[in-house]
Structure formats: C-alpha cells, structure tokens
Amino acid sequence: MKTPPSRTLFLSGMDVKVYPDPEAASIAAALLIEQIVVDARAKRGKAVLGLATGSTPKRVYAHLVERHRTGALSFRDVSTYNLDEYYPIAANDPRSYHSYMYEHFFRHVDLASNRAHVLDGTITESLTEAHAALFERSIEADGGLDAQLLGIGRNGHIGFNEPCDLTPERAITLGTRLVELHPTTRADAVAEFGGMDRVIPRALTLGIATILAARSIIMLATGAHKAEAVAAALLGPVTAQVPASLLTYAAPRTTWLVDHAAARAIAQA
C-alpha cells in the first residue's frame, strides 16, 4: 500500500489533505493508523485506538484487514474503543455498532476480544452514566487514545455529539453520555433502519472532551454530501452548532483527510 498523492491545505490551524477520491483518502487513513500503531508500540509496548463506524470508514477497515492478512500489521497489543452505540440496542442486533465492528474489523484481525470496547446498548438506563464513566476510566487506564478516527455528520456532528447551544468552552468539556439524535442524523439512518419511525432516536457517545484528549485525531470525510459540513467546520466560526469546528481546540494533533468531492467548498480557501 503506497501513500496516495494529496494536496495539503492549512485551515484553522489544521492540516487538511485532499485526495482525488474516497479510496485514496481511505488508504491514507489506514496508513496513518498503521504508523500510529507502530510508533505507539515502539514507545509504550501497546497502542490504543478510538474507532468510528458509519459508511465512511468501511474502506479503512478493509485496508487494515488486508494489511493484517498479508502479515504486515498485527493488532495483538492493540486496544480499541468505539465512539458510539445506539441506545437501546442488543449487541447482536445487525444494526448495532457492535455488529458493524465485528463484521468489518474485529472478526478479521488478531485483536483480543477483551480489548475491543464498544459502549453497551443494553445497559439499564439508570446505569448509563456509570457505564459511560467506566468507559472513560478504561481509556485512561489504558494510557489514553493514541488515535481517534472520526467521520463527520452532515450536520457537523462528531461521534454523536450533535449541534447544541452550549458555548464552545462548555461543549469541549462534554463527557461520554446518553444523547438524543438530531433529526438530520435520524434521517441519515433511515435506510439502515428501514423507516424514520424505526430509527433508534438515542445513543451513547464518547464526549467531545474525550475525543479532543486523543494524542492524534484523524477526521475522514468523503463525498459531496459532506462538503457543506466540512466547510462549516474548517472555514466557519468555532461553535457547538458545528461540533467538528471544536476540533480546532486540538488543531496541532488533528489531520483532516478529505476527498475531492468533500473538499469542494474549501478548495479555493
């Protein structure tokens, strides 16, 4: 796998690498993750990855699995923590992010099952706060996230941290918690759930504070339908109404990997 050619922009203090297509951007993301695993293993004897689901990272997982198949990359000393999970949902429900991760990544690599962490969509509601706190403590006990892979919602969300009225200073302190999904997020999940009334309207999500604490943040955005959100996050004001704009708080540690279509509205910047 070779690093595909890219054009680099520097926006809001962040490197934004623009690739010709989603495949090239995904290869770049997989190579970056591999490098982070190799470096973390050399430094600390292990690596801790924050992972995302959705349609965007599927190709990234396919490339990481391919690297594993060829013997180039092992996940034996890697721990993973997923960004989010619908709530309530059973792990074995085909629409759960547990199922997604198993299908696209976990079952294909040598990651120990007790090191693959996904928020539990079956936890009793009164215990979700304690569950979220425990999830965060596990990340800390593991030494923190070496990398957090992110996608961006059409409304600018990261994880399931949806647009909100908080000040940016308050929004960046948000921890892992149970949230209501934004109408745009629910609309985007209609195909997956087979109807608006069938979309699970709540989810557990890693907090913005937890995301921003990662030693490295990789935002992958592909497709014309993401162009507006990408432009709002990179060219607009830093606001909790566009949660991805809050990544500027971790600007030196954040890399955007976008394809040509998603970069449409920033290309002239």
Residues engaged in binding ligand F6R (CB under 6 A): 52-56, 83-84, 151-153, 157-160
Cα Rg of the chain, angstroms: 17
**At its nearest, how many Å lie between ligand F6R and the CB of residue 247?**
12
Residue 158 or 178 having the CB closest to ligand F6R: 158
Residue 56 or 239 having the CB closest to ligand F6R: 56
**At its nearest, how many Å lie between ligand F6R and the CB of residue 256?**
13
Residue 26 or 248 having the CB closest to ligand F6R: 26
**At its nearest, how many Å lie between ligand F6R and the CB of residue 195?**
18
Residue 2 or 24 having the CB closest to ligand F6R: 24
Catalogue the active-site residues: 84, 155, 157, 162
Residue 26 or 239 having the CB closest to ligand F6R: 26
**At its nearest, how many Å lie between ligand F6R and the CB of residue 79?**
17
**At its nearest, how many Å lie between ligand F6R and the CB of residue 259?**
12
Three-state SS annotation for the chain: CCCCCCEEEEECCEEEEEECCHHHHHHHHHHHHHHHHHHHHHHHCCEEEEECCCCCCHHHHHHHHHHHHCCCCCCCCEEEEECEEEECCCCCCCCCHHHHHHHHCHHHCCCCHHHEECCCCCCCHHHHHHHHHHHHHHHHHCCCCCEEEECCCCCCCECCECCCCCCHHHHCCCCCEEEECCHHHHHHCHHHHCCHHHCCCEEEECCHHHHHCCCCEEEEECCHHHHHHHHHHHHCCCCCCCHHHHHHHHHHHEEEEEECCCCCCCCCC
